[in-house]
């Protein structure tokens, strides 16, 4: 019996792994993810670097000289009145009009653009105007700039994981946990839908080709369904393992060579217990903590193990239902109505994941990570926040227990459905098939 299931698993596995589409998606997906991460930097690096000329009409007489030109903006001061300047400088990027009451009324400034407005340029102009007005106000109230700089202090505490049983606290980062929650949830969402639908389409195709009718004479329908589910599940696991090894290789061999030297030095200082020496600013400390958290083998290794557990369990659960739907219909179009109840919990879990990131310990987060039909996605969103291990174990046990119950009912539908043609059953009929002995 086991050998027959093994043969079916091997057939499903080899058929998909040897396809060019599997090879391309396995190799290109990590590269596309890296491209999405570094795309903003590449776009900014190759964006239009033409210097924009801004004519300045300063009625206050004290702000224009404080505006500093750069490669992005070239300020050109003009004594012309605004009405004439708007005609004379119609070929430049914009005309900046600074009113007489700019010190008391910060809104007394107007930017007349001659074309499409650029957000970055407007932000640059706004920042320079703000600094200039602040300097003039400090002069007005006889306040030294150094005093303002010392008062303007940004405090960002170093986040550590409290471990009463240990003298050393481990680095923690809510930013890293949130990013991982997003990525892991979408990985689960993608795999449940992509590979689940693949199971359904495979069953429909073989049913229409009458292949299943030939196989059913030598193999039990339940064994056939389990072999197909486990075979495609092994393909999904292989793809995830390849991605994990690829990303680990990038992190281990490439990242140390592209990180700035000061970052590497600061990381060594943090490891030696001298975090104050590594602080050049709040943003840098946050980045250092994120890098060190991702370099924690225990933390990352635990996430990878649970990812494999919930990917496999979640896929088994939903693949059994998709296989049952595929066996009950003759075409993907007929399957639309029946697969909607299967897809709703997956979509609901994705919406709940957004609230989990705001509060991973809330009641909503806890219960949706325990309910088997939403737990794969929601629990993977909670795991990066280092929730209690017993919650993860309970969720995994319920997930696999529910799979055995669902696969029993799906096997009943599969047994009847693969031999029926020309009729699209409704949910009521599917429930009647489950009660058949």
> Coil, strand or helix: which one is 226?
helix
Dist. CA 346–CA 374, nearest whole Å? 6
Q: Bridge-partner residues for 170, per DSSP? A: 161
What is the model's pLDDT at position 307? Answer: 86
Average pLDDT over residues 411-420: 75
Q: In sequence order, which residues have a C-beta less than 8 Å from that of residue 393 and are 6 or more positions away?
A: none
Q: Where in the chain is the domain with CATH 3.40.190.10?
A: 52-144
CB 211 within 8 A of CB 15: no
Dist. CA 71–CA 418, nearest whole Å? 69
**Residue 283 — very low, low, confident or very high, per pLDDT cuts 50/70/90?**
very low
What is the model's pLDDT at position 433? Answer: 76
Q: How far apart are the first and last CA of the chain?
A: 21
Kindly give the pairing relationship between strand 52-58 and strand 94-98: parallel
Backbone angles phi, psi at 294, to 5 degrees: -70, -20
The separation between CA 89 and the C-alpha centre of its own chain, rounded to angstroms, equals 46
In this predicted structure, the answer to whether residue 367 has a pLDDT above a threshold of 60 is yes
Q: In sequence order, which residues have a C-beta less than 8 Å from that of residue 326 and are 6 or more positions away?
A: 199, 200, 201, 202, 203, 204, 207, 335
Dist. CA 18–CA 248, nearest whole Å? 25
Nearest Cα residue to 418 out of 198, 211, 195, 196: 211
As a whole number of Å, the CA-based R_g of the chain is: 31
In this predicted structure, the answer to whether residue 170 has a pLDDT above a threshold of 50 is no
In this predicted structure, the answer to whether residue 54 has a pLDDT above a threshold of 80 is yes
Between 131 and 433, whose confidence is greater?
Answer: 131
> Coil, strand or helix: which one is 163?
coil
CB 221 within 8 A of CB 326: no
CB 197 within 8 A of CB 319: no
CB 55 within 8 A of CB 73: no
CB 373 within 8 A of CB 352: no
What is the model's pLDDT at position 23? Answer: 80
**Residue 343 — very low, low, confident or very high, per pLDDT cuts 50/70/90?**
confident
Query: Considering only 118-132, 255-269, 289-303, which range has the smallest mean pLDDT?
Result: 255-269
Half-sphere exposure of 127 (CA within 13 A, CB side): 9
DSSP state of 383: G
Average per-residue pLDDT for the chain: 76
**Residue 279 — very low, low, confident or very high, per pLDDT cuts 50/70/90?**
very low
Element (DSSP H or E) covering residue 13: helix 2-17
Predicted structure pTM score: 0.65
What CATH class does 52-144 carry? Answer: alpha beta
Element (DSSP H or E) covering residue 77: strand 73-77
Q: Bridge-partner residues for 94, per DSSP? A: 54, 113
pLDDT tens, 235-259?
888 888 888 888 777 767 766 666 6
Dist. CA 437–CA 424, nearest whole Å? 21
What is the model's pLDDT at position 65? Answer: 87
């Amino acid at each position: 019996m086991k050998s027959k299931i093994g043969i079916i698993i091997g057939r499903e596995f080899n058929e998909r792994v040897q396809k060019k589409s599997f090879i391309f998606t396995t190799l290109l997906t990590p590269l596309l993810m890296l491209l999405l991460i570094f795309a903003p930097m590449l776009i900014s690096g190759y964006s239009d670097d033409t210097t924009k000329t801004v004519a300045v009409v300063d009625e206050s007489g004290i702000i224009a000289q404080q505006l500093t030109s750069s490669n992005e903006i070239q300020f050109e001061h003009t004594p012309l009145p605004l009405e004439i300047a708007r005609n004379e400088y119609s070929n430049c990027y914009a005309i900046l009009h600074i009113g007489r009451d700019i010190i008391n009324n910060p809104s007394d400034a107007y930017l007349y653009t001659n074309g499409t407005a650029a957000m970055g340029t407007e932000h640059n102009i706004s920042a320079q105007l703000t600094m200039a007005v602040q300097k003039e106000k400090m002069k007005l109230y006889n306040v030294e700039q150094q005093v303002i700089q010392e008062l303007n202090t940004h405090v960002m505490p170093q986040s550590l994981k409290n471990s009463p049983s240990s003298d050393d606290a481990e680095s923690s980062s809510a930013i890293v946990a949130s990013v991982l929650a997003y990525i892991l949830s979408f990985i689960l969402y993608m795999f449940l839908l992509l590979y689940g639908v693949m199971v359904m389409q495979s069953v429909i195709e073989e049913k229409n080709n009458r292949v299943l009718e030939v196989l059913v004479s030598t193999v039990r329908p339940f064994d056939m369904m389990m072999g197909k589910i486990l075979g495609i599940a092994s393909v999904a696991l292989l793809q995830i393992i390849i991605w994990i090894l690829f990303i680990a290789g990038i992190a281990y061999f490439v990242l140390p060579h592209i990180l700035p030297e000061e970052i590497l030095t600061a990381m060594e200082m943090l490891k030696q217990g001298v975090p104050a020496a590594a602080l050049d600013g709040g943003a840098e400390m946050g980045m250092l903590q994120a890098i060190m958290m991702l370099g924690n083998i225990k933390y990352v290794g635990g996430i990878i193990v649970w990812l494999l557990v919930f990917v496999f369990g979640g896929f088994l659960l939903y693949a059994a239902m998709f296989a049952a739907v595929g066996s009950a219909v003759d075409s993907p179009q007929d399957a639309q109505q029946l697969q909607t109840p299967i897809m709703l919990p997956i979509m609901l879990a994705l919406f709940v994941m957004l609230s989990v990131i705001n509060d991973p310990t809330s009641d909503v987060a806890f219960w949706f990570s325990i309910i088997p039909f939403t737990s794969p996605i929601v629990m993977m969103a909670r795991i990066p926040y280092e929730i209690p291990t017993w919650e993860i174990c309970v969720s995994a046990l319920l997930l696999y227990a529910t799979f055995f119950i669902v696969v029993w009912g799906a096997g009943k539908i599969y047994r009847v459905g693969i031999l029926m043609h020309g009729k699209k059953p409704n949910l009521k009929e599917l429930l009647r098939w489950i009660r058949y002995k």
